[in-house]
Structure 1
Amino acid sequence: MSTEEQPAGAPAAGTDEAHRQYVIDLYGVMAYGELSAFERFSSDARFSPTLRDRAEIGRVAVIEFEHFEMVSAELARMGVDVQTAMLPFQASIDAFHERTRPGDWYESLMKAYVADAVSGDFYRAIASRLDPQTREVVAGIKENKEQLELLTTRLAQALEGNERLASRLALWGRRLVGEALTQAQRIGIERSFLGGLLGFEESGAQETVIAELFAELTRNHSRRMNALGLTA
């Protein structure tokens, strides 16, 4: 993966101001991701096959909005308006959701299971290289244990004894992970913040570490699909 030149007027790489902008970009993309997830879960809840499903997916939507408020508060602490921070990522994230529009409620569950888990792994991996304050914020926002357990349980129930659905969702899952990884890579390149957050200025070092990161994301995805009895 190659990196693009810094935009005109951008702070020099390696400076405190550059790091601050990297973190603002990270929070911005996370904020819009959480807001989009809230909207997606709210919409999905309306098409739930049972009232229990509707209530549980509605609860997940609430959690996503709480996460959006958490990252908004952190941006405000930095003196940054959340709308300003989110705006550079709106078109790219919206395009991702257009490309991965689910065909039914079960595909919506699989999308949440794959995309939210991959993004959680991605941001937590980046956060492991950040300052303690930012690392703590990211860990709190991307804590998705409750959502993952709910989605795993509901998908396992739906897949039990249903080979046709299993085959369809396995194929859908493979498409989703490819789109999710491409999306993460694209966002990192667009704003040139991925290499900066990982602490490397030389392109060769960036490419090596980023390749290892994406390999780990792929392995984690395979483990989650195997947990459902599906082929990644």
Structure 2
Amino acid sequence: MVDSSLDRSLEPALYGLMAYRELTAFERLSSDARFSPTLKDRMELARLAVTEYEHFELVRAALLDAGLEPDAAMEPYVDGIDRLHERTRPGDWHESLMKAYVMDALTSDLYAALGTGPEERRLLGDSARALVERVRRMDEQTTWLAQRLQRAIDDDERLAPRLALWGRRVVGESLTQARRLLDRDDVGPLFGGTDARAALLATLTQRHSRRMSALGLTS
């Protein structure tokens, strides 16, 4: 029996958002890798970029399976995500690492929030939830970024206040974009009602603060 509360019409919009996010993450990490201070760092970032592109291909395949053109599905989210990246253009390699750390962790938190509660969970089908969970698994990426940032801060204490300030800038812009996404009719309902979305934004802020504290930085 099909659950009548499923709203499969929301899935293509979610896939379009995810696809463009993963594509731009690949582009960002690929570009950052070129400016790495060591060859080892360059290889690590290149590997993470490949993972992001693999995520993009997974979502692209889901769109094609649904009979949708990936470029058309991504188009509604291009301006917002591109504007976010324009407003958070890093000044050097360490700032690019902090940006990746903040944005990837927030994205993972948003993906994790999909279907958390019983009402929200029924808005996505099993295959959609499985895809979101597969793309969400970024622990290795987030862990490497955190470890590399920590090592850089330990090596040069002057980085700490600058990266703390930059982290606040990035998370502020990211949360503004997240708020706009949650207000959209095409993907917002997947995260619950108005109260649930407000609570989610508060949770995103709290988790970011804990991650910055783990690096010894103020948020």
| TM-score > 0.5 by shorter chain | yes
Moved more, 72-81 or 47-56: 72-81
Residue 108 of structure 1 deviates from its aligned partner by: 0.2
Give the structure 2 partner of residue 124 of structure 1.
112
Q: Which stretches of structure 1, 4 residues or more, deviate above 4 A after TM superposition?
A: none
Does 2:190 align with 1:197? yes
Give the structure 1 partner of residue 100 of structure 2.
112
Q: Which amino acid aligns with 2:216?
A: G
Residue 195 of structure 1 deviates from its aligned partner by: 3.8
- Give SS of 1:160's match: helix
| Counterpart-to-counterpart distance in 2, 1:207 and 1:230 | 32
**Contact 1:48–1:105 at 8 Å: present in 2 too?**
yes
Q: Which amino acid aligns with 2:68?
A: V
**Contact 2:25–2:52 at 8 Å: present in 1 too?**
yes
Structure 2 vs 1, CA of residues 218 and 198 (structure 1 numbering), >3 Å: closer, same or farther?
Answer: same
Give the structure 2 partner of residue 6 of structure 1.
none
Give the structure 2 partner of residue 158 of structure 1.
152
| Counterpart-to-counterpart distance in 2, 1:135 and 1:193 | 17
In angstroms, what is the RMSD of aligned CA positions? 1.6
| Superposed CA offset, 1:57-112 (max 9, x none) | 00000000000001111111211111111011111111110000000000000000
TM-score, structure 2 normalization: 0.91
Residue 15 of structure 1 deviates from its aligned partner by: 7.9
Residue 185 of structure 1 deviates from its aligned partner by: 1.4
Residue 142 of structure 1 deviates from its aligned partner by: 1.7
Give the structure 2 partner of residue 172 of structure 1.
166
| Superposed CA offset, 1:116-167 (max 9, x none) | 1101101220243233321111010121111111101110100005332100
| Counterpart-to-counterpart distance in 1, 2:12 and 2:131 | 12
Give the structure 1 partner of residue 34 of structure 2.
46
Give the structure 2 partner of residue 8 of structure 1.
none
Q: Which amino acid aligns with 1:197?
A: L
Q: Which structure 2 residue ranges, 5 or more long, are not aligned?
A: none
TM-score, structure 1 normalization: 0.86
| Counterpart-to-counterpart distance in 2, 1:195 and 1:115 | 19
Q: Decide which of 68, 78, 83 is 1:95's aligned counterpart.
A: 83
Q: Which amino acid aligns with 2:214?
A: A
- Give SS of 1:80's match: coil
Q: Decide which of 61, 68, 85 is 2:56's aligned counterpart.
A: 68
Q: How does 1:22-41 map to 2 (within 5 A)?
A: 22-41=10-29
Aligned identity (percent) is 54
Moved more, 119-128 or 24-33: 119-128
Q: Which amino acid aligns with 2:174?
A: A
Q: Which amino acid aligns with 1:24?
A: P
Residue 186 of structure 1 deviates from its aligned partner by: 1.2
Aligned residues: 210
| Superposed CA offset, 1:172-201 (max 9, x none) | 111111111111111232x413442135xx
| Counterpart-to-counterpart distance in 1, 2:186 and 2:209 | 27
**Contact 2:15–2:63 at 8 Å: present in 1 too?**
yes
Give the structure 2 partner of residue 86 of structure 1.
74
